Amino acid sequence: MAIDRYEHHDYYGVDELLTEEHLLIRDSVRAWVKKSVSPIIEEYAQRSEFPRHLVKELGEIGAFGPHIPTKYGGGGLDDISYGIIMQEIERCDSGIRSTASVQGSLVMYPIYLFGSEAQKMKYLPKLGSGEYLGCFGLTEPDHGSDPGGMKTNFTDAGDHVVLNGAKMWISNSPYSDIAVVWAKDEAGIIQGLIVEKGMEGFSAPEIHNKWSLRASVTGELVFDNVKVPKENLLPGVKGLKGPLSCLNSARYGIAWGAVGVALDCYDTALRYAKERMQFGKPIGSFQLQQKKLAEMITEITKAQLLVWRLGVLKSAGKASPAQISMAKRNNVQMALTVAREARQILGGMGITGEYSIMRHMMNLESVVTYEGTHDIHLLITGLDVTGLNAFG
């Protein structure tokens, strides 16, 4: 891949709304991304291989659970810091950001929120440092947007429970040391369990031939009479609100991450438009190209302000799930539009691995689908403004 020439774009001076510490966090993560991720990401994505060595580095830089208290191996930072970290990582690749989001928001966060003190001390420091990789099992082959219909279940067997079922589309799963799995008990109530690699009857086969998130590993979770000790049940929550509260945290990170992707596509397209000569002039001097670039930076600026405000609300504990849905939906769609327009500016070069745009565009097809599809988030907003449920 060509050298990473990315420069930040801040049309409305949003940086002035951030603290000096936020900016240091951003510069630090950006420096790490340029040093460790940018030079290798294209090759790994082309080979459809997960750069597994980055797990340890993500832990070292502090990208896993930055919003979890330091006592448990997190960063002890605020929600805006978490968003900024996700933005900078996704600026380079949504797949690597997915690895970090899953670990921080879907594995560490539920253990922190709903786990016992012993569970927190046992798992969180290792997940925070990258010694352990984790995954989150909610979606099933037949239950995506309707997770409440899940079939995975466990039965009481004295000092342990017996878990059966299967989960699908699970980021990180083939290489995970632990999985936070959501399953129904005998009364049909959803509960969380920590399933460890090596437990008999537990396997995590990889899903191959993806055209998206190729530098991130995705798999299944298969439970065939897995004996899970009762101390691995998350004691702090029962019902669907458990997994949904984790998804709020992850969706929040995605809303920030999408801004990163869009900024990278815009930055690439802007530079290309100023350098690429046609008809004796840079193509950026033509009105049709300017229209694309002007609309891109307008939409990016709106999205930057949206996540900043959402971050302020979330840091104050006031962000509603519906507000997070709105930001996730808007920003991912914005990023997709920007990626497609940017690809057009680059012409044929836009489809090659010389530039990041096509990889971003393919990645975003997953991002617009996972953690609540584009349509489902619309229904969440619809429900919120009308009070009328349009699901199912």
Partner 1 sequence: MKVLVCISQTPDTTTKIVFKADGSGVDYTNVKFIVNPYDEHALAKAMELKEQQGAEITVINVGKADAEQSLRKCFAVGADLGIRVDAEPVSGTQVAKLIADVAKERSYDLIFTGRESIDYNGGMVGELLGGLLGIPSVGYCGKLELNGNAATCTRFIDGGEETVKVELPLVVSAVKELGEPRIPNMRGIMQARTKPIEVIADSENSLPAEVRYESPKGKAGCVYIDAAEAGKLIDILHNERKLF
Q: Known catalytic residues?
A: 371
| Interface with partner 1, residue 257, by CB under 8 A | no
Does residue 54 bind partner 1 (CB under 8 A)?
no
What is the per-residue DSSP string for 303-360? Answer: HHHHHHHHHHHHHTT---HHHHHHHHHHHHHHHHHHHHHHHHHTGGGGGSTTSSHHHH
Sign of CA dihedral 308, 212, 99, 30: negative
Please tell me whether residue 16 binds partner 1 under the rule CB under 8 A: no
- Across the strands, what pairs with 277? 282
Residue 28 Cβ vs partner 1, minimum distance, rounded to whole Å = 5
Q: Based on the shown chain and the rule CB under 8 A, indicate whether residue 32 belongs to the binding site for partner 1.
A: yes
How far is C-alpha 44 from the chain's CA centre? 18
Among 18, 41, 54, 77, binds partner 1 (CB under 8 A): 77
| Residue from the set 43, 49, 60, 156 that interacts with partner 1 by CB under 8 A | 60
Which residues have a Cβ under 8 Å from the Cβ of 292 and sit 6 or more positions away?
269, 341, 342, 344, 345
Place of tokens 């694309």: 292
Rule CB under 8 A: is residue 253 a binding residue for partner 1?
no
According to the binding rule CB under 8 A, does residue 83 interact with partner 1? no
78 or 371: whose CB is closer to partner 1?
78
- Answer for which of 37, 42, 55, 75 binds partner 1 (CB under 8 A) is 75
Residue with Cβ nearer partner 1 (277 or 294)? 277
What one-letter code names the amino acid at 345?
A: I
Question: What is the closest distance, in whole angstroms, from the C-beta atom of residue 25 to partner 1 in the complex?
Answer: 6
Contact between 66 and partner 1 (CB under 8 A)?
yes
CB of 77 to partner 1, least distance (A): 6
* 304 in contact with partner 1 (CB under 8 A): no
Nearest by Cα to 219 from 209, 198, 205, 199: 205
Beta strands in 211-312, from DSSP E residues, in sequence order: 218-229, 277-278, 281-282
Beta-sheet pairing, 153-156 with 134-137: unpaired
Question: Binding segment for partner 1 among 25-33, 37-45, 259-267, 336-344 (CB under 8 A)?
Answer: 25-33
- Binds partner 1 by CB under 8 A, chosen from 18, 37, 55, 85: 85
35 contributes a contact to partner 1 by CB under 8 A: yes
| Closest approach of partner 1 to the CB of residue 202, in Å | 32
Other C-beta atoms lying within 10 Å of the C-beta of residue 287: 8
Q: Cα(280)–Cα(297) distance, rounded to whole angstroms?
A: 26
Cα 127 to Cα 134: distance, rounded to the nearest angstrom: 7
Of 76, 147, 148, 236, which lies in the binding site for partner 1, with binding defined by CB under 8 A?
76
- In the complex, the residues that contact partner 1 under the rule CB under 8 A are 7, 20-21, 24-25, 28, 31-32, 35, 60-63, 66, 70, 75-77, 81, 85
